[in-house]
Amino acid sequence: MGRLFAIEIIYRGIFQKTLATRISRAIVIAAHHEGKMGISFGRYGDSPERNGIPAKNFAIVATDEQTLEEGMAKYEPKEVDVTLCVDDTLCKGVESWAWYGLQPVNKLLKPGGTLIVTSREGPEAIIAMAHRKETPYQLSILKGTVSFSGLWVYKDDHTDVRLLGAIAKVLPDLFSLQSVQKAIIDEWKDELKATSAAKSYERTSSITVQPNQGNPEVPYKFDLPKWHEMGEGIAIPSIPAGHKMDDPTSHAQGGFQPDRNPTFKKFSTRTMRPVVNFDTCIKCTLCWLQCPDSCFDVTPEGLYDANMQACCGCGVCEAVCPVKECVTMVNETEFKDNSSQWEDWRKDKDGYKVWLQEKIKSHPERSHGFRYRGQYEEQIPEMLEIASEK
């Protein structure tokens, strides 16, 4: 019996779709240079075509045709040798369909498999974000910012080939660096990219993550109903409009809280989240009006608290808020939970002020696209620095 390899690429819809496709293609082509055969495909659904939504690409490779067919006789691989995660905020989890809930980024990794993450964070931060796994796995960090390489005007930043070089290092049975370089020449006819792959190959190292390390939360589980338990006519219960808010301290009723879908939480769709300064808010209602996901609870005293189970991190509230630094988008990697900012503020207003000032330092450089004209040029020196780091 031959050997089967599976690699998944976890990425964000639209922005990183081209990048993910380039990587999974090149994996198959590199393996082809070693006499292996394979297929490359994306998760079939809406996620690749939706801004920022966690999506997946796969490459399946085998040493012979019959083994490849065994790998193909499934909708998606049930286990993988390597998981590539090209946006570190996705280490908090992946949720492609509403009813999947938040699923661990390392869920499909075989025991001893490697999670490769592109990030500027250190291993501690990445491990803390990822759910615990029953078996040890390897973690390898490829230094870099979140890449949009290949999307419209975004320049080729070599993230694709650097990841390919890293795969050759952590999974040498799949293919050698030489085969990766041949595939790069086939696909892009670019010597410089081949050199980038080699550099990344040299630099790649990994550490072991033990079962007691990581986010201890138990991932969301679900059972789908049997056909005769389901209602007929494709009609499902809807979400009621909402109700008055209950002040947790005084129990006064007031404001407005929309009801939310209890099984559809948008934790991992965002790369950044708003932080609200309740002391400077002028209660203009704009954030509440413009938020596409009805995230804001109107508190009994008329403040606006963004609910972090509903927020998709689009940044509209920041854009419309007329008060300087009243709503600030902050990198998602800065947060460990989804608690209510308003409740935290009410408990300790001075403490909240300090917390807020600390958080808003981590204003995202880029999220769903660059944030202003010329930002790309500004970031080139920083990226060059990453490239020359040892």
Partner 1 sequence: MAVATVIEEQKHNIEETALITGSEAIAVACKLADVDVITAYPIRPYDTVMQYVCKLVANGEMDCEYIVAEGEHSQFEIVKHASACGARVFCGSSGVGWMYAMEALTVTPALRIPMIAMVGNRALDDPGAFGVEHNDALAVRDLGWQLVWVDNVQEALDTALIAYRVAEDRRIFLPCAISCDGAFLTHSQAMVKIPSQEKVNEFLPPYDRGDLLLHPDNPITVAPQGNEDWVMEIRRQNYAAMERAYGVIKEAYADFERIFGRSYGNPFFEEYMTDDADIVLLGMGTLSISVKVAIRQMRKEGKRVGFVRMRWFRPFAAEELAKSLQRFAAIGVIDRDYSFGSPYLGGVLAGEVRHALYPGPGKKPPVVDFICGLGGREVTVPDVQKMAESVYKAADGKAQPLTQWIGLRE
User: Of 75, 152, 222, 372, which lies in the binding site for partner 1, with binding defined by CB under 8 A?
Assistant: 75
The number of CA neighbours under 13 Å toward the Cβ of 293 is 21
Pick 77 or 313: Cβ nearer partner 1: 77
Count, residues in the chain = 390
65 binds, among partner 1, ligand SF4, none (CB under 5 to 8 A by kind): partner 1
User: Of 313, 328, 367, 368, which lies in the binding site for ligand SF4, with binding defined by CB under 6 A?
Assistant: 313
- Buried b or exposed e, range 193-225, using 16+ CB within 10 angstroms: bbebbbbbbebbebeebeeebbbeeeebeeeee
Cα dihedral 297, 363, 361, 310, rounded to 10, equals: 20
CB of 87 to ligand SF4, least distance (A): 17
- Does 291 engage in binding with ligand SF4 (CB under 6 A)? yes
Q: What angle do CA 386, 387, 390 make, to 5 degrees?
A: 80
Cα dihedral 58, 42, 198, 169, rounded to 10, equals: -10
295 binds, among ligand SF4, partner 1, none (CB under 5 to 8 A by kind): ligand SF4
- Does 317 engage in binding with ligand SF4 (CB under 6 A)? yes
- Does 227 engage in binding with partner 1 (CB under 8 A)? yes
- The alpha carbon of 27 is separated from its chain's Cα centroid by a whole number of angstroms, namely 21
Measure the CA–CA gap between 329 and 318, rounded to whole angstroms. 7
User: Of 40, 196, 268, 269, which lies in the binding site for partner 1, with binding defined by CB under 8 A?
Assistant: 40
User: Of 59, 167, 312, 330, which lies in the binding site for ligand SF4, with binding defined by CB under 6 A?
Assistant: 312
Element (H, E) at 199: helix 191-203
Task: Pick the piece of the chain touching partner 1 (CB under 8 A) from 27-35, 158-166, 284-292, 362-370.
Answer: 27-35
CB of 62 to partner 1, least distance (A): 11
User: Which residues 6+ apart lie within 8 Å of 101 measured at CB?
Assistant: 95, 219, 220, 221, 222, 263, 265
- Does 50 engage in binding with partner 1 (CB under 8 A)? no
Return the closest-CA partner of residue 27 out of 75, 79, 80, 88.
80
The footprint of ligand SF4 (CB under 6 A) covers 274, 276, 281-287, 291, 293, 295, 304, 306, 311-317, 320-321, 323, 326-327
The footprint of partner 1 (CB under 8 A) covers 24-25, 28-29, 32, 37, 39-42, 44-46, 65-66, 68-70, 72-75, 224-228, 234
